[in-house]
């Protein structure tokens, strides 16, 4: 077996691994990956979205487990410090040596920091990694607490504008400083830059062009940027995004050929000057160029895989740098040569300053060929224009029709349909997916819809810009096969809900009968009436009190009708947040009118802001009132959610509340590899969302159906049917076996859904173990669970009854004082911790 070592675990390094894993000869190679960051590869293209995500893990290209599943040895937080080509060996910073047969340099680039005096001051950052963004978040909170709120970005290119958006997301007043006379000087002409500048200013971001920064002043922290023209800009924080430089220091040290301005030299096979060493991505110097976009890097990764495994794929002579993106809420795209300007070229421009749209295309003088273009404010035509450019498709008689809106609606689109492109047209540049591959996956029967095509081809999974065109190709392929089915609302309206929405809005229809006369037939039904009432509400903010006759029974009376004809009243509690005063009001109302009370959703109330020394006192009061620990802090059973079931609901088939209580009482405190959540629904309408849980129980006419291994969160998955039509005792028996088998066999911190995915034999095997007792361990599993149930103790009660345990609930070892550094600020009649 030959060993491949990949140095660098960024997007391109990960893509190399991904491509190798899908190659038929994958088993012939042992793969080791070294990354100096503390986490596995993540999506840098969408790095600014980190501020709106709950966890950096949401940016991961694959979980760490993916590497193990594919037998890739991943080393994070481990820097390669030396390459020894003669010995075919790499050495880590720990002085550990690893031999290789093939070496892949995917070390990427580092942010270029101009030699500006004062750039080492506190408050100056680069924009490259999650750690950079974390540091920015902390510093921004710090200066805002001191009453400061100004940030500047040095660099008006792609990354600079992303960084400006990040600063804006941090709640800072933001300025962009650019040395060139226009924004994004490599992609935009002056008119496009002016349009983009105007749109950015509308969002509250100031732009300063033709500014050369000569010094960053301030005592210890940055206070001001001084420019060569004698002007200056006060700022409390600076993000430098002035370009990138290849991380080629390993190659230089090893004597591998590099360019004069940096970058590891490679040929069209991605081979360096040293045998069996390849360079891909931003570190590679190909045709005297370094390419900072992800698509060329992915192409390089594919070429390297093909070359190592005996293929003959090589890089194209000319690297396409076309790009489509959304910067600070503004659509921006460029393709081909956006600046070409000579006697053989005709430039066509459409500019609408009122709408903030600028479009430019460059065509050959005779109007036969598209050479390049720029789109600002509206890039919806980018994919089609790019395909016309890249495939040299003949232009329409009037090329201006490609970008100038036609006043004649009968003329249709001058661009035509994606189905008209040749099969060789590359639709997804990031993943090199052609039209033929997309359409072929539908025509062969391999895929039946857009989701299937994405899964099979990985199209749209990079930047995502090609998704509309991929969707059009899927629809076009299905239509050509006679498989397209028109979605209609009901027998009375031959339109989908979306079509009806547009018709009602455009024609300003405000009455159901008018809509039925214009667009429908007959008298209507209980399907289309509530649907149209919803449309009217969505367009006109119309309440259910206006057209009462077309509302369903619940909307008609503004409450949910129950099994015995009574109604439930559910007041809004935004975000689950409620003051103690409001909570007591609900209690008084429920008592006065003798109402049944039930907590919805996760079915618990969370109390925030308790100090460490207060916990035992709080617990004692709760325990005295009959409460127990909810184990929200543990990898254990959290809740068993229920609907109201047959006790109240007219659809309920079984008493789901009582059964849910029985299940939760049985498994409370049960520790497991990861948190467990359950649900019990009283009918197939699934109000308890049981199939989104680790175990879900749904009532059917003859008993309970038991579903397992579902979960919500970042990767939601429906639970799968384990057994059906079970009585109460059998359902619990199977649940005992399932939970114990999971507890027994799952790796640490693995939810039931990924555990099942990795279980050899999958659900069929699990059914054999749990239902059929194929391993002969059923009684053993049941006995183990019963023993755990019998040994349950409330952890809160245990703590407050043991003086030794109580000692740990103190802020200070030698004092009973509270922590006087805690600070709170008001928030909607309650309180919250003061922001960092």
pLDDT of residue 411: 43
pLDDT of residue 565: 55
Return the SS3 of 706: strand
Nearest to 435 by CA among 447, 418, 448, 416: 418
Q: Is the whole-model pTM more than 0.75? A: no
Do residues 500 and 494 make contact, with C-beta atoms less than 8 angstroms apart?
A: no
pLDDT of residue 511: 92
Which token pair is 19? 């491509």
Q: For 150-198, how does the pLDDT look when each residue is reduced to its tens digit (9 = 90+)? A: 999 999 988 888 889 888 888 899 999 999 999 998 889 899 999 999 8
The per-residue pLDDT of the chain, averaged, comes to 85
What is the CB neighbour count within 10 angstroms for residue 515? 22
Q: What percent of the chain is helix, strand and coil (3-state, nearest 5)?
A: 35, 20, 45
Return the SS3 of 271: strand
Mean pLDDT of 807-827: 69
pLDDT of residue 407: 46
Do residues 196 and 379 make contact, with C-beta atoms less than 8 angstroms apart?
A: no
pLDDT of residue 409: 38
Residues with Cβ within 8 Å of residue 204, at least 6 apart in sequence: 168, 173, 174
Mean pLDDT of 550-562: 69
User: Could you tell me which CATH number the domain at 630-790 has?
Assistant: 3.30.413.10
Q: For 402-444, how does the pLDDT look when each residue is reduced to its tens digit (9 = 90+)? A: 887 654 434 445 566 678 788 888 788 777 788 899 999 988 8
Assign domain 322-416 one CATH number from 3.30.300.180, 3.30.390.30, 3.40.50.620, 3.30.56.10: 3.30.390.30
Residues with Cβ within 8 Å of residue 67, at least 6 apart in sequence: 17, 33, 40, 73, 74
Q: Answer yes or no: is pLDDT of 355 > 80.
A: no
Longest dimension (CA), the chain: 92
**Between residues 430 and 6, which one has the greater pLDDT?**
6
pLDDT of residue 767: 95
Least confident interval from 143-157, 409-423, 457-471, 614-628: 409-423
pLDDT of residue 451: 77
Q: Do domains 124-241 and 419-478 have the same CATH topology?
A: no
Nearest to 190 by CA among 378, 404, 339: 339
Mean pLDDT of 392-397: 82
Nearest to 44 by CA among 361, 384, 293: 293
Mean pLDDT of 238-258: 94
DSSP class of residue 456? H
Q: Answer yes or no: is pLDDT of 563 > 80.
A: no
Query: How would residue 29 be classed by pLDDT, with cut points 50, 70 and 90?
Result: very high
State percent of the chain over pLDDT 90: 40
The domain spans of the chain are 2-110+246-308, 124-241, 322-416, 419-478, 497-552, 630-790
pLDDT of residue 738: 96
pLDDT of residue 568: 67
Nearest to 401 by CA among 385, 413, 384, 389: 413
Distance CA 226, CA 243 (A): 20
717 phi/psi in degrees, rounded to 5: -150, 135
Question: Which range in 95-99, 289-293, 633-637 is most confidently predicted, on average pLDDT?
Answer: 95-99
Mean pLDDT of 820-830: 70
Query: How would residue 386 be classed by pLDDT, with cut points 50, 70 and 90?
Result: confident
Q: For 676-705, how does the pLDDT look when each residue is reduced to its tens digit (9 = 90+)? A: 999 999 998 888 889 989 999 999 988 999
Task: Provide the phi-psi class of 52: left if phi over 0, else alpha when psi is between -120 and 50, else beta.
Answer: alpha
Q: Answer yes or no: is pLDDT of 358 > 60.
A: yes
User: Could you tell me which CATH number the domain at 2-110+246-308 has?
Assistant: 3.50.50.60
Which token pair is 51? 């501020």
Distance CA 270, CA 263 (A): 12
Query: Distance between alpha carbon 139 and the CA centroid of its chain, in Å?
Result: 25
- In DSSP notation, 790-836 reads HT---HHHHHHT-HHHHTTS-SBTTB----TT--EEEETTEEEEPP-
Task: Provide the phi-psi class of 479: left if phi over 0, else alpha when psi is between -120 and 50, else beta.
Answer: alpha
Least confident interval from 135-139, 183-187, 362-366, 464-468: 464-468
Mean pLDDT of 261-268: 94
Query: How would residue 450 be classed by pLDDT, with cut points 50, 70 and 90?
Result: confident
For 763, the enclosing helix (H) or strand (E) is helix 762-770
Alpha carbon of 677 to those of 603, 633, 735, 749: distances in Å?
12, 13, 13, 14
pLDDT of residue 416: 61
Least confident interval from 78-82, 592-596, 801-805: 592-596
Query: How would residue 140 be classed by pLDDT, with cut points 50, 70 and 90?
Result: very high
Q: For 293-337, how does the pLDDT look when each residue is reduced to its tens digit (9 = 90+)? A: 888 999 999 999 999 999 999 998 888 788 877 777 788 889 888
Nearest to 246 by CA among 294, 295, 279: 279
Distance CA 616, CA 623 (A): 10
Mean pLDDT of 500-509: 87
Query: How would residue 564 be classed by pLDDT, with cut points 50, 70 and 90?
Result: low
What is the CB neighbour count within 10 angstroms for residue 329? 11
Burial of 244-268, coded b for 16+ CB within 10 Å and e otherwise, reads bbbbbebbeebebebeeebbbbbee
Neighbouring C-alpha atoms within 13 Å toward the C-beta of 693? 26
Nearest to 825 by CA among 637, 609, 669: 609
Q: Answer yes or no: is pLDDT of 134 > 50.
A: yes
pLDDT of residue 324: 78
Nearest to 639 by CA among 628, 649, 650: 628
pLDDT of residue 254: 95
Nearest to 220 by CA among 115, 119, 122: 122
Distance CA 470, CA 577 (A): 42
Mean pLDDT of 737-766: 86
Question: Which range in 54-58, 94-98, 442-446 is most confidently predicted, on average pLDDT?
Answer: 94-98
Burial of 721-748, coded b for 16+ CB within 10 Å and e otherwise, reads ebbeebeeeebbbbbbbbbbbbbeebee
* E strands in 583-661: 637-642
* 124-241 classified as CATH 3.40.50.300: no
User: Could you tell me which CATH number the domain at 419-478 has?
Assistant: 1.10.10.1100
With the C-alpha atoms ordered 120, 281, 715, 573, is the resulting torsion angle positive or negative? positive
Distance CA 643, CA 647 (A): 10
543 phi/psi in degrees, rounded to 5: -85, 165
Alpha helix stretches (DSSP H) within 490-579: 497-506, 512-519, 528-540, 553-557
* E strands in 231-338: 232-234, 238-240, 244-246, 264-265, 277-279, 284-285, 323-327, 330-336
Query: How would residue 94 be classed by pLDDT, with cut points 50, 70 and 90?
Result: very high
DSSP class of residue 419? G
Distance CA 96, CA 247 (A): 21
- What's the full length of the chain, in residues? 836
């Amino acid at each position: 077996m030959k060993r491949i070592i990949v140095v660098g675990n960024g997007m391109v390094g990960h893509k190399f691994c991904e491509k190798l894993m899908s190659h038929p000869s994958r088993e012939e190679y042992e793969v080791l990956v070294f990354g100096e960051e503390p986490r596995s590869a993540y999506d840098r293209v969408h790095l600014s979205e980190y501020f709106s995500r709950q966890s950096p893990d949401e940016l991961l290209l694959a979980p760490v487990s993916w590497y193990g599943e594919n037998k890739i040895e991943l080393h994070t937080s481990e820097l390669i410090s030396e390459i020894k080509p003669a010995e075919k060996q790499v050495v880590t910073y720990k002085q550990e040596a690893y031999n290789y047969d093939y070496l892949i340099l995917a070390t990427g680039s580092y942010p270029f920091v101009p030699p500006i005096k004062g750039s080492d001051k506190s408050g100056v950052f680069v924009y490259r990694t999650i750690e950079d963004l974390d540091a920015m978040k902390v510093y921004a909170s710090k200066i805002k607490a001191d009453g400061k709120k100004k940030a500047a970005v040095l660099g008006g290119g792609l990354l600079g504008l992303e960084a400006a958006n990040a600063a804006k997301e941090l709640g800072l007043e933001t300025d962009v400083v650019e040395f060139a006379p226009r924004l994004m000087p490599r992609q935009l002409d002056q008119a496009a830059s002016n349009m983009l500048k105007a749109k950015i200013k509308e969002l509250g971001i100031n732009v300063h062009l033709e500014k050369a920064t000569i010094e960053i002043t301030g005592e210890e922290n940055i206070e001001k940027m001084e420019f060569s023209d004698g002007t200056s800009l006060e700022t409390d924080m600076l993000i430098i995004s002035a370009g990138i430089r290849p991380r080629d220091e390993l190659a230089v040290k090893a004597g591998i050929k590099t360019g004069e301005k940096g970058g590891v030299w490679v040929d069209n096979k991605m081979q360096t000057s040293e045998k069996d060493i390849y360079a891909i991505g931003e570190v590679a110097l190909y045709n005297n160029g370094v390419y900072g976009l992800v698509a060329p890097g992915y192409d390089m990764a594919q070429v390297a895989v093909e070359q190592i495994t005996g293929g003959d794929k090589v890089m194209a002579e000319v690297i396409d740098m076309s790009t489509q993106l959304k910067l600070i809420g503004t659509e921006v795209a460029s393709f081909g040569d956006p600046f070409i300007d000579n006697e053989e070229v005709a430039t066509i421009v459409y500019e609408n300053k009122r709408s903030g749209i600028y479009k430019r295309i460059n065509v050959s003088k005779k109007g036969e060929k598209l050479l390049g273009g720029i789109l600002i404010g509206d890039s919806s035509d980018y994919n089609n224009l790019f395909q016309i450019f890249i495939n040299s498709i003949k232009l329409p008689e009037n090329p201006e029709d490609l970008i100038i809106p036609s006043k004649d609606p009968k003329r249709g689109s001058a661009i035509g349909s994606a189905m008209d492109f040749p099969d060789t047209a590359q639709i997804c540049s990031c993943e090199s997916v052609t039209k033929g591959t997309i359409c072929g996956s539908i025509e062969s029967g391999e895929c039946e819809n857009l989701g299937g095509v994405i899964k099979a081809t990985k199209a749209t999974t990079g930047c995502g810009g090609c998704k509309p065109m991929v969707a059009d190709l899927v629809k076009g392929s299905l239509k050509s096969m006679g498989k397209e089915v028109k979605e209609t609302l009901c027998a009375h309206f031959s339109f989908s809900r979306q079509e009806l929405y547009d018709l009602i809005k455009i024609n300003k229809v405000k009455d159901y009968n008018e809509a039925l006369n214009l667009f429908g037939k007959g008298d209507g039904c209980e399907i289309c009436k509530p649907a149209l009432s919803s449309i009217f509400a969505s367009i006109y903010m119309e309440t259910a009190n206006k057209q009462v006759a077309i509302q369903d029974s619940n909307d008609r009376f503004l409450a949910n009708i129950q099994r015995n004809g009574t109604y439930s009243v559910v007041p809004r509690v935004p975000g689950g947040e409620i003051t103690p005063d409001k909570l007591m009001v609900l209690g008084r109302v429920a008592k006065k009118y003798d109402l049944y009370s039930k907590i919805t959703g996760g079915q618990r109330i969370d109390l925030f802001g308790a100090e460490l020394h207060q916990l035992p006192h709080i617990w004692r009061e709760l325990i005295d009132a009959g409460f127990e620990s909810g184990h929200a802090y543990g990898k254990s059973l959290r809740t068993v959610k229920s609907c109201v079931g047959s006790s109240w609901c007219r659809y309920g088939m079984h008493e789901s509340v009582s059964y849910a209580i029985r299940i939760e009482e049985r498994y409370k405190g049960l520790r497991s590899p990861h948190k467990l959540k359950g649900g019990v629904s009283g009918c197939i309408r699934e109000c308890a969302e049981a199939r989104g849980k680790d175990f879900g129980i749904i009532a059917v006419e003859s008993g309970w159906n038991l579903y397992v291994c579902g979960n919500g969160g970042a990767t939601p998955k429906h639970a799968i049917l384990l057994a059906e039509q079970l009585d109460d005792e059998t359902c619990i028996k199977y649940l005992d076996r399932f939970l114990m088998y999971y507890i027994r066999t799952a790796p640490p911190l693995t939810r039931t859904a990924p555990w099942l995915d990795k279980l050899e034999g999958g659900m069929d095997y699990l059914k054999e173990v749990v239902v059929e007792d194929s391993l002969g361990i059923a009684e053993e599993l049941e006995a183990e669970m019963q023993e755990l149930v019998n040994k349950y103790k409330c952890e809160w009660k245990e703590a407050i009854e043991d003086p030794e345990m109580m000692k740990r609930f103190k802020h200070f070892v030698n004092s009973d004082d509270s922590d006087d550094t805690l600070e709170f600020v008001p928030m909607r009649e309650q309180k919250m911790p003061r922001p960092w």
